[in-house]
Structure 1
Amino acid sequence: MDDTVESVADKINALVAERWPGRAPGNAAIAREIRRETGLSISTGYLWMLRTGQRGNPTGDRLQALARFFGRPPAYFFDHEVTSADMELAACLRQSGVRMIAMRADGLSERSQRAILELVERARQIEKLDEVDD
């Protein structure tokens, strides 16, 4: 993924794609799910405007609803330093096993971190996770 600055629309659409890989439901279904999970309301029309870039400054309850639903702090939607790579890392860190590996590696020497990375790379080869289909 590249490290270009992303708009609020780009960020919301990427979060939707992350949450529903493949085919995301429509804005009405997403808005219902946000209400159901967070207890906060966002209208279908407003969500559509955010996702299409016609609105780029969610505030108040709408901002809280999006932040809670997607598991991000409210400032995430306005921090233009947050990139696609940051979003990819955040998605990976949602997995408890990945998060535990990262946390336990903190404080280890550079040499130990390299050894752990080599083990992870070998495991990925064994599981054929990085093979590209031709």
Structure 2
Amino acid sequence: MAESVADKINALIDERWRDLPKPPGNAAIAREIRRETGLSISTGYLWMLRTGQRGNPTGDRLQALAKFFGRPPAYFFDHEVTSADMELAACLRQQGVRMIALRADGLSEQSQRAILELVERARRIEKLDDADD
């Protein structure tokens, strides 16, 4: 199923503030976008995007969203991008994760499985997946 601009923005907001019980409100998010990017987006416009009342951000607003969430502007209009793609992109923004993935490229399937086993063991040690059990 294709995700709308509203779905994508809401998912990005949830991802960015995943460690909080709920993300901040639109006014706080708009302030944070202005603070981090130097580009302005109004609280009302952000609300319209998040509720689907506007679905085609352009110009400075599109640039602000793209820069703030670390996505290319085209991301908001690519209907083939899924939530799984978004999760992967978020993980790959972390330099260590990106380096592991890049260095594993070209290794045999057996070596890739061995690396995955090490990662799974480290996640168990750090109790990162306890909530999934």
Could you say whether these structures have the same fold, taking a TM-score greater than 0.5 normalized by the shorter chain as the test?
yes
For residues 99 and 7 of structure 2, the distance between their equivalents in structure 1, rounded to whole angstroms, comes to 29
Task: Give the aligned length.
Answer: 128
Cα deviation, 1:68-103, whole Å, max 9, x if unaligned, reads 011100000000111110111111112221111111
Deviation at 1:28, TM superposition (A): 1.1
SS of alignment partner, residue 47 of structure 1: helix
Unaligned runs of 5+ in 2: none
Deviation at 1:127, TM superposition (A): 2.5
For residues 126 and 69 of structure 2, the distance between their equivalents in structure 1, rounded to whole angstroms, comes to 29
SS of alignment partner, residue 113 of structure 1: helix
For residues 105 and 86 of structure 1, the distance between their equivalents in structure 2, rounded to whole angstroms, comes to 19
For residues 34 and 8 of structure 1, the distance between their equivalents in structure 2, rounded to whole angstroms, comes to 17
For residues 133 and 62 of structure 1, the distance between their equivalents in structure 2, rounded to whole angstroms, comes to 37
For residues 25 and 7 of structure 1, the distance between their equivalents in structure 2, rounded to whole angstroms, comes to 21
Deviation at 1:133, TM superposition (A): 6.8
SS of alignment partner, residue 77 of structure 1: helix
SS of alignment partner, residue 108 of structure 1: coil
Deviation at 1:131, TM superposition (A): 2.5
Deviation at 1:105, TM superposition (A): 0.5
Q: Please, what TM-score do these two structures have when normalized by structure 2? A: 0.89
Aligned-pair RMSD on alpha carbons?
A: 1.5
Percent identity for Structure 1 against Structure 2: 91
**Segments ≥4 residues shifted beyond 4 Å:** none
SS of alignment partner, residue 132 of structure 1: helix
Unaligned runs of 5+ in 1: none
Higher relative contact order (CA 8 A, sep 6+): 1
Cα deviation, 1:41-64, whole Å, max 9, x if unaligned, reads 111111000000111110111100
Deviation at 1:37, TM superposition (A): 1.2
Q: Residues 65 and 132 (structure 1 numbering): CA distance in 2 closer, same or farther, change over 3 Å?
A: closer
Q: Residues 76 and 113 (structure 1 numbering): CA distance in 2 closer, same or farther, change over 3 Å?
A: same
Cα deviation, 1:19-38, whole Å, max 9, x if unaligned, reads 11xx2111111111111111
- The equivalent residue for 1:17 is 14
Deviation at 1:125, TM superposition (A): 2.4
SS of alignment partner, residue 41 of structure 1: coil
